Structure formats: structure tokens, C-alpha cells
Structure 1
């Protein structure tokens, strides 16, 4: 006789709990649990885009191939730039990897402006997902696309006879460097998007800063051959640290991997913070 009332009380408690869930809004997950899920989801979306449409991958491979084929082989023969005893095309290859990754990431703000115009961004902002999680997810999605581009450039460089390392740990370090660099430049693009609020203006700013960033780095020539003022600019240019790390990992040349990784990681964190702060202005 005592088991029946106990079962009834349990059933009543279950019904009360179900009704309470319908009446009470569930508490949002903490940001530290949302962030990995958002990053993984957006990276999966980028993979789906590449799987369904490889046109962008093929077209973006043309420019780095031309840099290596024409610029690299020409300056290898004339030996006009001091490279520390290695062929110039070998010296150039890591710089072209960094350049191609930057060119993908620096226009990533156009996508977030398109999402705003389509109403997608406002829908994302009303979810309990932190803004920093949204920016981080997009930044590392840009990094994923840049990794694919970097692998294409590595294959082209290997076909041209560039003496690259195939050590798995060093190649893993290359992927990390490319992702961190792309994360910063994509956040820079999204920060500019939060300021200019227009795709046309963002295109203008993107074109205005990409080539100065490229030429004010050590991608094409050593810092030692630059004039003094350009050396100062190179020291605050994250692309220089990315190229330095890539050369050390791929070619085994003298580098500063510890400071390079620290600068790239710090720049990525600052980029996420800046883009997150301006995300609300972009959605107005």
C-alpha cells in the first residue's frame, strides 16, 4: 500500500518539474562552454563551403603561384637580395604563404557586413552566445580557410624545388602560426567593418592597408636592408613575426619562435577584443 502513494508523489513531482521548465526560461550556458561549440560550428560551415565550391581555392592559388614562378625565380638568378646563403625562392616561399593567408583574412569583414544586411547578425546577437565567441568563431574560421590556402602554396613551392621541411611537428607549428596570423587580420578586418559600416568603404580600406603591410614586413627582403623608419614599422607589423616563424619552421633558418608565437597570440587576443567591442555598433 505504501508503494502506490510514493509512485504518485514521484509522478506529481515530474509533472511539476516539466511545467516549471515550460514557465521558466532555461539559464544560458556559460561563455567558456559556448565558445568551443561556436568555433567548431563556424569552422564546419567554412569546410562545407570549400567542399561545395572550390572555385575560390583555385583562383586564390594563382597569385602565390605567380609570385613564386616569376618574382622568386627571377630574383634567384640575379641574386640582388641578401638571403643568408639560401636561394631567394626558398626565402620567398614562407612570405608568400603569409601573404596569401593575410589576403584571405583581411577582407573577412565583408562577410560580417553581408550578414548584417541579410539580418543574420541581429539573429545571432539575440542568442545567449557571447559576442567574443561569435568573433572568435569567425576568426578561426578564417584561419581554417587560410590553412587550406597555405597547404596549396606549400605544394606549389615543393613542386618548384623549394627545400621545405616535412617534420610533422614543424608543419603543425606552421598551421598554428597561419591560424593565429589569420585570426588577427580577420579581426582587424571586422574591427574596420565596425567603424566604416559599409562594404564599399571596407574594400577601400582593405586595399589601402594590405600592400603596405606586405611591403613593410620581411616577406620579400630582410629587415636589415630597409631604411630606418621602415624597420621601425616592421617591428610593430604582426606579418613580420608570422613570416619569421614560418621561415624558422619551414626552412630551419635562425628565428625567434617564442617571441613570434607570443606576439601573434597577443595580437589575436587584442583583435578579438576590439572586434567584439564594435560588433554591437555594426548591428545597429
Structure 2
């Protein structure tokens, strides 16, 4: 009787050696340049999953920008008290309200990370291989996606009120980028403050204390040229002013400095991520 042919000894030996190698030493880690984006996307997806379970936050936060446009915008359009370079005031105001609503979402983002600390979630995240910068970046850009939803609501309301907006896809992509970068900075600012004060009550008080100065100290409601000198200085170092300038140039086609605007927003977001990441461990203690 003929016997079945035996497996090639060389192939069997190679297979055994590969299995033994995996047991002796772990597989090579994913390169850092690939690990960080993957972790950022994963953290962003986790944050957005929370939103899918409760959408009431989006509906309630849409009320305030709607009131700004319906009441403040229409009233000051009739008064014509603020020089806007020939642009109807409600048109001038709409990009500022988009930036304002995005900031108001992001500036209290640190409260959520303090809640995660109290619930023990943050400590579990910090012991994973995920870099702290990826944790912070994922949360920051998740706030940017939430702000995008708010921006869509404001744009729809503005369009219904007759605001002349662009519908150029490339310009709308620029609007999305400006909203996300601005929100990322303010979310990181909130997480940085959370790392310093380490208390929800203190963070809430500081957040309420700085939101309105940031808003009124920008060009969201009026041109920088009508501000007193000291407020013009505040406006020039306020990232919200650069975000509003970019949004106006993209949505309305008014003169803007898109290059410097996006450069400032990108640098501010990067510095915010670095600051929040450095204080994340302190917050967890």
C-alpha cells in the first residue's frame, strides 16, 4: 500500500519557528505616526457615541444662537448703528454667532473630563497605551464635530432669514475647518483649566467668567475699528477674532486674511493640545 506523502519538513519547521517567535516576543508595535491618528479617531468616535444616545443637548443649545439672530440681528439691522462696510448687520452677525455657539460648546468641555475622573474612567484611559496627546486631541476634535452640528443649525436659520451666504463646497469645507480648529482650541483651554482647578464648580465659575469677555472682546458683534484701543489689543490676541474673520470671508465673501487666520487657529489648537496633555496626569491624581 502506498503511504500519504509527508508534509515538507522545511515548511513545517518555518511555521513552528514563527509561532515560537510570537510566544517569546510580542509583535512589533505599530509605528508612532500610524498609532496617534488611529487613537485620535477612536477617541473621537467614543465621544460622539455619547451624543447619539442623547441629542437633547443639540436642540437646547440651538435656542441661544437662534435668539441672537432673530432678535439682536434683526433689531440692529434696522437701527444701522454699527458700521459693517455695506453688509446688512444680520449678515455680518451670522458668522460671529456660529463662532460663539461653537465656543460655548467647547469652553465647558473640561467639566466632562472631570466627571470622567470622578467616575474612574480617566484613570483607565491613562493606563492604556494611548498617548495622552491622542486622548486630548480626540476629545478636542469631538467637540469640533458637535460644533459643526451647531454651525449647520445657525446657517439654516440665517438662510431662512435671508442672509446671503455662499454655497460653494470648497468654501463650506473651509468653514468646517475653521469651526473645528476653533472648537478644538477652546475645548483644550477648558481641559487645561480643569487640570489646574480640578473641580467642576471652580471650572464652571471660570468658564462663565471668561466666555462673555472672549465673545465681546472679539469682532463677532462689531468691527475692531470701533473698539477702544485696549479692547483692540485684546481682540488681536483672541483666537475667536481670527475664527470669525475666516468665517466671514468664507461665508460672505468679505475681505479676510484666511492664511493668517488659519495659521493662528492651527497654532492655538496645537498649543492647547500640548498644554492640556501636560496637565492630564495632574487631573487624574
Give the shorter-chain TM-score range: over 0.9
Residue 157 of structure 2 corresponds to 156
CA offset digits 1:50-92 (Å, max 9, x no partner): 3332211110000000000000000000111111111110000
Residue 279 of structure 1 corresponds to 280
Cα RMSD after superposing both structures: 1.6
CA offset digits 1:7-29 (Å, max 9, x no partner): 55234324422432xxx455543
CA distance in 1, matches of 2:11, 2:265: 61
Whether contact under 8 Å (2:47, 2:139) holds in the other structure is no
Residue 145 of structure 1 corresponds to 146
Q: Which runs of 5+ in 1 are unaligned?
A: none
Determine helix, strand or coil for the equivalent of 1:255: coil
Alignment of 1:211-222 (within 5 A): 211-222=212-223
Q: How many pairs were matched up?
A: 281
CA distance in 2, matches of 1:245, 1:76: 22
Q: Which runs of 5+ in 2 are unaligned?
A: none
CA distance in 1, matches of 2:65, 2:8: 77
Whether contact under 8 Å (1:28, 1:128) holds in the other structure is no
Residue 239 of structure 1 corresponds to 240
Residue 75 of structure 1 corresponds to 76
Q: Which runs of 4+ in 1 moved over 3 A?
A: 1-5, 24-31
CA distance in 2, matches of 1:232, 1:84: 22
Alignment of 1:123-134 (within 5 A): 123-134=124-135
Q: Kindly state the Cα deviation for residue 158 of structure 1 after the two structures are TM-superposed.
A: 0.5
Residue 168 of structure 1 corresponds to 169
Q: Kindly state the Cα deviation for residue 119 of structure 1 after the two structures are TM-superposed.
A: 1.1
**Structure 1 length as normaliser, TM-score?**
0.94
